[in-house]
Structure 1
């Protein structure tokens, strides 16, 4: 059995099976089981994040393509002595339809970001010394500022 070429799911199953059969090692068996559980959870989370990333990338690519179609259809023309750009109306309409359409992956991502911001605000309020919540607006504003700067709140 070559562990270095074994797929992660098979490695986790094998390790968990061995850990279950090791009775005399006690704590080490429990440690291996816990590692298997956490690695498996991390693997599942990674797959889910990859799916989300791929869905966002697909939506982003479609939106970029619509913009490119509009700009590619543009041509400079002279009208009454002035130069202007004319674009293909079909490209504009399809681009508008796409932009105004559904973007479920983007919408879900934004909703998740908002939820995480709300959770960070709740955590900051719960761990603050502001027992009567009179300073709650300032605490939440500080959390929002930290999140906007890309830091953890």
Structure 2
């Protein structure tokens, strides 16, 4: 008989009711951790699938040119190699661009040799899964600094007036990590 993950978790919790206190605690703890690990795995798989879909979408918009003769685009580099009848181990330089609609921008601010533009017509490429993934990585980086500062306080590395200041920085960093995540969700 092959059991599902959910059946294993539920069985461990049922068996825990009939075991001694220590064994019951252990079984319940294992079931809880397995359940959490399963949820985290499902979330990671969903994120992976979303990133893969975005990646495939972006790759499907690519077009290629022979760098030496860029008159017409090709759908794949293989088409260029076939058109030039290349032999084994020969190399060809290929230029790559994305097939995206043209965009119209307007200069909304200008100073010295710099400009700020706004999109007037067309669409920017949207990559919400990638944006969310990168926001999570950034937020985790901020949290790593927060964790390290907490360790310094716990270890007594800061003294006197420094402790409240560092504790305030920890609070600001925790808020910043939450804002980074929230910004990606908008």
Question: What TM-score, normalized to structure 2?
Answer: 0.54
Tell me how far apart the structure 2 counterparts of residues 45 and 83 of structure 1 sit (CA, whole Å).
50
- How many angstroms does 1:52 deviate by? 0.4
- The 3 A distance-change label for structure 1 pair 16 and 95 is farther
Tell me how far apart the structure 2 counterparts of residues 55 and 117 of structure 1 sit (CA, whole Å).
22
- The 3 A distance-change label for structure 1 pair 126 and 95 is farther
Quick one: which of 105, 119, 124 aligns to 2:129? 105
Q: What residue in structure 1 maps to residue 41 of structure 2? A: 46
- The 3-state SS of whatever aligns with 1:85 is coil
- How many angstroms does 1:33 deviate by? 1.0
- The 3 A distance-change label for structure 1 pair 13 and 60 is same
Tell me how far apart the structure 2 counterparts of residues 47 and 56 of structure 1 sit (CA, whole Å).
14
Question: What TM-score, normalized to structure 1?
Answer: 0.64
Q: After superposition, what is the alpha-carbon deviation per residue over 1:70-116, rounded to whole angstroms, capped at 9, x for unaligned?
A: 21xx478xxxxx9433338xx73359878x32211101000000000
CA contact under 8 A between 2:61 and 2:100: conserved in structure 1?
A: no
RMSD, matched Cα: 3.0
Quick one: which of 61, 66, 90 aligns to 2:61? 66
Tell me how far apart the structure 2 counterparts of residues 35 and 52 of structure 1 sit (CA, whole Å).
25
Pairing 1:67-146 to 2, within 5 Å after superposition: 67=62, 70-71=63-64, 74=65, 83-87=69-73, 92-94=99-101, 100-128=124-152, 129-131=157-159, 132=162
Instruction: Tell me the number of residue pairs that the alignment of Structure 1 and Structure 2 aligns.
Output: 118
Q: Which has the higher helix share?
A: 1
- How many angstroms does 1:29 deviate by? 1.2
Q: Which has the higher strand share?
A: 2
- The 3 A distance-change label for structure 1 pair 64 and 26 is same
